[in-house]
Structure 1
Amino acid sequence: MHKKLILSGVIALGMAFPSFSQTSPQVKYANTISVEDLTKHLTYLASDQMQGRDTGSETGKLAAQYLADFYKNLGLTGPVNGSFFQSVPLVTANFSKVTLQVGKSKLVENEDFVFTGDGNMAKTAKSELVFLGLVTDENLAKVDVKGKLVGLWAVGVRSNDLVKKVMDAGAAGIVIVSMEGQANFDRIANRYKTLAGKGRIGFDKETEQRPIFMVSSDKMGQLFNTPVEKLKEAAKSTPESIASQKVIYQVVKTKTPVDAVNVMGFLEGTDKKEEVLVISSHYDHVGVSSTGEVFNGADDDGSGTVSVMEIAEAFAQAAKDGMKPRRSILFLNVTGEEKGLLGSAHYGDNPVFPLANTVNNINIDMVGRIDYEYQKEENKDYIYVIGSEMLSSHLKKINEYNNITYTNLILDYRYDAEDDPNRFYYRSDHYNFAKHNIPVIFFFNGVHDDYHQVTDTVDKIEFPLLTKRAQLIFHTAWDLANREQRTPVDGSNTRTER
């Protein structure tokens, strides 16, 4: 985007930008964000020693302590009654036994099916598996689902509402196809198998008798002894034409408390100190595989975490030099993002500072690599920006202004579309601020071959590019923390449901 176009739009809106230049003091502090420091911190946090920083694990606690010690040494304060930690009350649910037999076929968990539901059963249940296909009122009128496992065809749609509708109609459970092709299903099944035995971490809640078994499209065809294409056609309007099958299943569950924390360092502002800017990342990753391989999580989200650390150091140095920000800044490293945005959800429901006084959230998740889209591009100095214009008409322009003034990255908005099939907007911690109508901006480098693989290691990080991205985020944060007026909330949240 051309600088003149951006500035003309800014003038038209009457937005007053600070008069910064490449010789302004903030450039000095942006330049403290260095390849050397980012490398040092990430080499530790994403080392094999840290064992993948799993939520609530002993090495996860080591990572949390490393962050807290860093903030303390910067001179930041612990905002939770003097502590740098906010406890996040989680439990691990282990499904020690999950069985599914259709007819005479005993299915194998994490090979033939993936269990994605909930439940705890003292003994096995015997029932029927009936085929409903698409969840329409017409189909529900043709198929008796009460007390039965129900086969759903939910390819290309959000399935949560569909599952609820069928369960509300009296179904005992669900067997669901949510993607076509065996290869797509196998990738998910392999991930579940790799993480088998760890259980699911989440907030403690009453167990629902809601068994949901996800299968591939091919497997669904096998279960009903019907070719996949015929099954897809029947799913539209003739589900009753597919014969039901005898089924036996059981789910056994136990729960164990998890000791998990969010980490935060606080820098108090000056004349606008009651207003708070939150700069966040998640420091957790997915731990170690069942075969002992470490998921180092260098990009996801070691890169975002060390960026927050370096941005905090830049602001702390400015404060020591007598240039404290006007607004207060909370540097927030949350836990449990990989388990469902848990740490940020807990903060949003239990904020340390009033949400009404929280002016913005800048969220940084995966900013150290080059994705599929840019690998063949000549200019690889890019960053994806998501969510920046939904709630405030000013935030996107503020970021663009600082980019053209200081860093000149390509700001790519392709994943900011509301119909983005990847749904990246819903998949990181800014979501839990935006749902409270706090304007957010999410920085992201996109997906690569090492995403959620044991090959996401430090040696593959593009440290000069990571440095430049972190410097842009610092400049934007400096602007937001020091401008006269906080960014207005003059837009509406059109993405409220995950």
Structure 2
Amino acid sequence: MKGRETGTPSEKKAAEYLADEYEALGLKPVGDNDSYFQNFELNATKSDSIVFELYAKDGTAKERISRSVASKNKTADFARLFGGTDTLSGKIVFAGFGVSDQDRGVAHLEGVDLKNKWVMVFQNTPNVVDGDTLIDPKIDARKRFQMIMRQGAAGILIVPAKEPREFDVIAQKMKGSFGETGRMSLAYRKSGGSSGFSGGYNVIKPGLVVKLLGLKSV
């Protein structure tokens, strides 16, 4: 069993099996050319490398402070988890833990313009502080990131745990995704000028976070 990933031979075998079952049941085919199938185009992307550039701006002056390239053979200052396969750019804003929990009076996103920004947030939240619940435990990382993306963010920069090794493990793992075809999606979703790409989710190297925020450590 190899699963039924879209566009794979295994997925086609599963579809053919279902069609045979429909025919055995005597169901009338209503698909293309009097079949049980409907044909449509699929798109998939493939990246051989990603260039990450970080600039500091002072008025009209712009200085590049970081440039790194991630590929199958090397890691960079960032590790892409998913999304962002199109060219993405924007200012960086720091939003703490990226939490919005009105019931507990935690509003890290309040008053922060996230539109077209890269939003830097800590990966883990201290749910319990001094024996008290800081935020609703149901607000996990997925919900936090969804709230950020709903406000129009270009992408998310995730600050991992304090141990630098955690970033290294993630970066090494993601090297294997380069040169491989990504998941397929319906081609019609690219119509109307939309790029069809989601915002970028990237893990950022802790040492670079320290430099950006002017801290001694994270």
Q: TM-score range by the shorter chain?
A: 0.5 to 0.7
1:153 to 122, 131, 148: 122
1:136 counterpart (92, 99, 114): 99
| Separation of aligned partners in 2, 1:198 and 1:149 | 26
1:151, CA displacement in angstroms?
0.6
Residue 221 (str. 1) matches residue 186 (str. 2): no
> What one-letter code is carried by the residue in structure 1 that aligns with 2:69?
V
Aligned to 2:186: 204
Q: Which structure 2 residues correspond to residues 240-255 of structure 1 after superposition, within 5 A?
A: none
Structure 2 CA distance for aligned equivalents of residues 222 and 54 of structure 1: 44
- Structure 1 residue 91: deviation in Å? 5.2
Cα deviation for residue 120 of structure 1 reads: 5.5
Cα distance between partner residues in 1 of 2:99 and 2:203: 20
Code of the residue aligned with 1:155 in structure 2: it is: N
CA contact (8 A) 1:94 1:200 kept: yes
Question: Equivalent residue for 2:67?
Answer: 106
In structure 2, the residue matched to 1:440 is none
Which residue is equivalent to 1:188?
Answer: 170
Query: Deviation of residue 142 (structure 1)?
Result: 4.6
CA distance in 2: counterparts of 1:120 and 1:192, whole angstroms: 14
1:116 aligned to which of 57, 70, 81: 81
**With structure 1 as the length reference, what TM-score do the two structures score?**
0.27
Give me the whole-angstrom Cα distance separating, in 2, the residues matched to 1:99 and 1:116: 15
**Deviation of the 1:100 alpha carbon:** 2.2
Secondary structure class of the residue paired with 1:143? coil
CA distance in 1, matches of 2:162, 2:148: 21
**Separation in structure 2 between the aligned mates of residue 112 and residue 118 of structure 1, nearest angstrom:** 17
Higher helix residue share? 1
Displacement after TM superposition at 1:144 (Å): 3.1
- Residue 128 (structure 1) shift: 1.8
CA-CA distance at 1:154 after TM superposition: 2.2
In the aligned structure 2, how far is the partner of 1:199 from the partner of 1:182? Answer: 29
Of the three residues 124, 129, 151, the one matched with 1:169 is 151
Q: Is the 8 Å Cα contact of residues 179 and 216 (structure 1) preserved in structure 2?
A: no
Task: Note if contact 2:114-2:151 (Cα within 8 Å) is conserved in structure 1.
Answer: yes
Going from structure 1 to structure 2, the CA distance change for 1:202 and 1:223 (only over 3 Å counts) comes to farther
RMSD over aligned Cα atoms? 3.6
Output the CA distance in 2 between the equivalents of 1:128 and 1:195. Answer: 27
Identity %: 19
> 1:181, 1:218 within 8 Å by CA — same for their partners in 2?
no
The one-letter code of the counterpart of 1:213 is N
Instruction: Give the TM-score, by structure 2 length.
Output: 0.55
Question: 1:133, 1:152 within 8 Å by CA — same for their partners in 2?
Answer: yes
Higher RCO, 1 vs 2 (CA within 8 Å, ≥6 residues apart) = 2
Q: Tell me the secondary structure at the aligned position of residue 101 of structure 1.
A: strand
Do the aligned partners of 1:145 and 1:171 also contact (CA within 8 Å) in 2?
yes
Check 1:222–1:212 CA distance in 2 against 1; reply closer, same or farther (3 A cut): same
Deviations 1:269-319 (A, max 9, x none): xxxxxxxxxxxxxxxxxxxxxxxxxxxxxxxxxxxxxxxxxxxxxxxxxxx
Amino acid of the structure 2 residue aligned with 1:101: E
Structure 1 100/79 Cα, relative in aligned 2: closer, same or farther at 3 Å?
closer
Contact (CA 8 Å) 1:177, 1:217: kept in 2 or not? yes
Q: How does 1:416-431 map to 2 (within 5 A)?
A: none
SS at 1:141's partner residue?
coil
Structure 2 unpaired stretches of 5+: 23-36, 56-63, 101-106, 126-138, 190-195
Larger Rg: 1
Counterpart amino acid of 2:20?
Answer: N
With over 3 angstroms needed to count, the CA separation of the structure-2 counterparts of 1:218 and 1:199, relative to structure 1, is: farther
What CA distance in whole angstroms lies between the structure 2 residues aligned with 1:79 and 1:130?
A: 49
CA distance in 2, matches of 1:183, 1:215: 12
Measure, in 1, the Cα distance between the counterparts of 2:43 and 2:109: 36
- Tell me how far apart the structure 2 counterparts of residues 216 and 54 of structure 1 sit (CA, whole Å): 34
Instruction: Kindly state the Cα deviation for residue 54 of structure 1 after the two structures are TM-superposed.
Output: 10
Q: Distance in 1 between matches of 2:203 and 2:122?
A: 10
Q: Where has structure 1 moved over 6 Å in runs of 4 or more?
A: 53-56
Q: What amino acid maps onto 1:102 in structure 2?
A: L
Q: Give 5+ residue unaligned stretches, structure 1.
A: 1-44, 46-52, 69-77, 230-498
Give yes or no for contact 2:116–2:153 (8 Å, CA) kept in 1.
yes
Q: 2:25 maps to which residue?
A: none
Partner Cα distance (2:185, 2:152) in 1 = 26
Q: CA deviation at 1:187?
A: 1.7
Measure how far apart 1:175 and its partner are.
Answer: 1.0
